[in-house]
Amino acid sequence: MEDLSIFIPDEKITEIRASCSLIEVISSYVKLTKAGNNYKGLCPFHEEKTPSFVVSEAKKIFHCFGCGASGDVFTFIMKYERLNFQSAVRQLAKRQGISLPEKELSPEQRKRISEREELFAINKIAAQFYHEILLHNQRGKKARQYLQQRGIDSACITEHCLGFAPEGWNALLQQLKTGKISLAHAQNIGLIIPKEAGHYYDRFRDRIMFPIFNMAHQIIGFGGRVIDAGEPKYLNSPESQLFNKRNQLYGLPAAAKNIMQHNEAIIVEGYFDFLSLYQAGIRNVVAPLGTALSVPHIVILKRYTANIVTVFDADSSGEKAMMRSLMPFLENGISPRMVLLPSGHDPDSFVRRHGAQAFADLVKNAIPLLDFVLDQTMKKFPIDTTPGKIHASEEVIPLLQNITHELERDLYIQKVAQALGIKESYLNAKVEKQHRAAGQPFSAPHTAPRPTLVTGEKAERLILELMLLHPDIIATVDENSFLDEFTTPELKELGLLLCSRYGQDGTITITDVLQSVRDEHVKQFITEISFKEDCGASPMKILEDCIHRIRLGKVRQQREDTKRLLQKAEASHDEASCSQFQRAYQQLMDEEKRIQRFRITTSEN
C-alpha cells in the first residue's frame, strides 16, 4: 500500500515529471517570483520573512536554503499535501491527464474498500457520541471536571475531539442500534464485544476517549483512560483492519506541519503529555500509543524531520522506555536527543508548573540519547573489576555497532574505551566486524540541523559539485580513480553513484540521481549545489586544483603526525625511532615539494 512505485513503471514516473511545469505546480501553493534563471518564494515548510526557497524549472528541482527542504515535483506534493509517494504520483498523473496502468478492481477488492469506508464512518459516529457526552451530557460531568482539573481547555477538547464513554454496558451500543449500524462491523473495529448469541456490550466504559486520527483525518481507533482508580489505566482499540498501534503516533496529523516548520519533533509518552504541550503552544509533538517506540514510528517521523527529541517521564519506567527507544532510532540512522525532566515530573506536569518557555529551554539543551544510554549501561556494572568491564562492553557493543555514521561511531568507541579502561582496538575490532557485514550505504548523523556533508572535506565537496554541474568531467574523475583519495565516506559514495550513472547513460540528471539516493541529507546536498551559479572557470582546471589540495592536505597531515612521533621519541631518548621518524619526515617533505611542483606544471598548461 505504502509504495506503489513497484506497480508504476519508472517510465511513467519520468513521463509525469517531465510533463509538469514545476513552477506551475508549486505556484498553486506558493507565490513565486523570477530571480535570474530560477524562481524564488517564501518556503512553505518553515517560517521565514525573506525568501530562501528556490525552484529551477530547467533542473526540475526545488531547494530551501533555510530549512534544507528539497526534491522534485513528487517530493513537493508529498511534503505539502502529506501524501505518500504513490498518492503523490496519482495526484500529479490526474492533474496532467496521464493514465496510470491501473489494475481493474475485482469485486472482492471493491467490497474491501467500501467496507473500510463504512468502518471509518462507524468510528466517526462513536467519536461524535463520546464527544457530545463529554461536552453536554449529565453523564459526562465528572469527565468535564477531571479535564478541567488537569488544565485541558475546551478549545483543546474540541480540536482533538476528546470524548467520554459513560458508565454502564450499552451506551454506545444503543446509539449504534438507533443508527441502524452493522453491529458486526462495530465489533470488527472493537467498539463492542460479543457475549452470548447476538448480544454485545461496550468495550469502552467510564473512560475519557481519545480518538486516533490518520493523516487523512479519519478515525482509525481510540484510546480510553479511566478517571478514577481502575484497570487497565489505558485501553486502546484492538488491532483491526483500520488500526495497528505499532504504526501510529498520537497527534501526528495535527503536529506534522509544525514538525516540518521547526524541523524537529518531540516525542512524549502519553495523551496528556501531548495535549498539555500542544495547548501550551508546543505543537511539534507526538506520542506513541502506549507502546514502545518502534522502527515504523521512526520511519514515519523521518518523513517530516531527522531531528528528534524524546521526553519521557522522570521515573524508572520512563527511563527504561527511553533506554529501549534508542535502538529503533539507530537502525534508522538517527541520533535522537533526550530531555531528562526534574525528578517526579512528566512533560504534562512540567509544562503546567513551569510554562512553555521553560520546557522549550529544556528541549534546546537536550543531550544525545546515546550518551545517556551508554552511561546508564556502564553504570550497571562494577567497571573497576575485570568481569564488570567484560559485561559492560558486551552490553554496549550492539549499540556501537548500530551507529551508522563512521566518525560518530569512532568517537563513541573512543569514549567507551576510555570509560571502561579497555583498549580501543578491542572495541573497534568487535564493532567494525559487524558493521562491515551490515554494509550500510549513505549514513550521515542526523542530529545537526544542517547537512553534515557541508562540514566534509572542502575539496571533495567541490569535486562532487563539478561532477553534478559538469557531468562531462565525470569520465576524468573515474579514469583517474580520484574518488579513491576521498576521506569522507558519504561523498565518496555519492561520487561512485554519479560515476556508475554516467557510465550507464552517458549523462546524469539531477532528478534521476535524487531518486537513487535515500539519505535526506545527501539529497539536500545535491539540490543545494545544483543551484550554485557557474563561476565561469574551467571545470577541468578546478578539478586539478582540488585533487592537488586533497593530496597536499594528506601529505601534510602525515608530516604533522610524524613530527609528533619524532618529538615523542626525542623526549624519551629513543634514538633508533628518532632516526626512523627523521627519515620518514624528510621523505614526506620531499613528497610535499613534488606535489607542489606538479601543480605548477599543470597550471602553466
Q: Which residues here bind Zn ion, judged by CB under 5 A?
A: 43, 45-46, 64, 66-67, 69
CB of 255 to Zn ion, least distance (A): 18
Q: Which is nearer to Zn ion, 44 or 456 (CB)?
A: 44
Q: Which is nearer to Zn ion, 64 or 338 (CB)?
A: 64
Q: Which is nearer to Zn ion, 45 or 531 (CB)?
A: 45
Q: Which is nearer to Zn ion, 43 or 298 (CB)?
A: 43
CB of 285 to Zn ion, least distance (A): 20
CB of 302 to Zn ion, least distance (A): 17
3-state secondary structure 51-88: CCEEEECCCCEEEECCCCCEECHHHHHHHHHCCCHHHH
CB of 453 to Zn ion, least distance (A): 18
- Distance (Å, whole) CA 401 – CA 429: 11
Position 251, amino acid: G
CB of 450 to Zn ion, least distance (A): 12
Position 284, amino acid: N
Is the four-CA dihedral 572, 576, 582, 584 of positive or negative sign?
Answer: negative
CB of 75 to Zn ion, least distance (A): 13
Q: Which is nearer to Zn ion, 175 or 527 (CB)?
A: 527
Name the phi and psi angles at 295, rounded to 5: -55, -45
Q: Which is nearer to Zn ion, 119 or 265 (CB)?
A: 265
CB of 63 to Zn ion, least distance (A): 9
Q: Which residue has the cell 500509543?
A: 289
Q: Which is nearer to Zn ion, 522 or 543 (CB)?
A: 522
DSSP result, 305-320: -S-EEEE--SSHHHHH
Q: Which is nearer to Zn ion, 55 or 64 (CB)?
A: 64
Can you give the C-alpha Rg of the chain in angstroms? 29
CB of 43 to Zn ion, least distance (A): 3
CB of 454 to Zn ion, least distance (A): 16
By three-state DSSP, how is residue 288 classified?
A: strand
Q: Which is nearer to Zn ion, 43 or 427 (CB)?
A: 43
- The answer to whether the beta carbons of residues 296 and 251 sit under 8 Å apart is no
- The answer to whether the beta carbons of residues 301 and 263 sit under 8 Å apart is no
Name the phi and psi angles at 337, rounded to 5: -110, 170
Q: Which residues contact 285 (CB under 8 A, 6 or more apart)?
A: 251, 255, 265, 266, 267, 268, 273, 274, 277, 278
- Looking at beta carbons, which pairs linking 145-150 to residues 24 or more positions away fall under 8 Å? 146/208, 146/227, 147/208, 150/272, 150/276, 150/348
What ranges in 85-140 are assigned the alpha helix state H?
85-96, 107-136
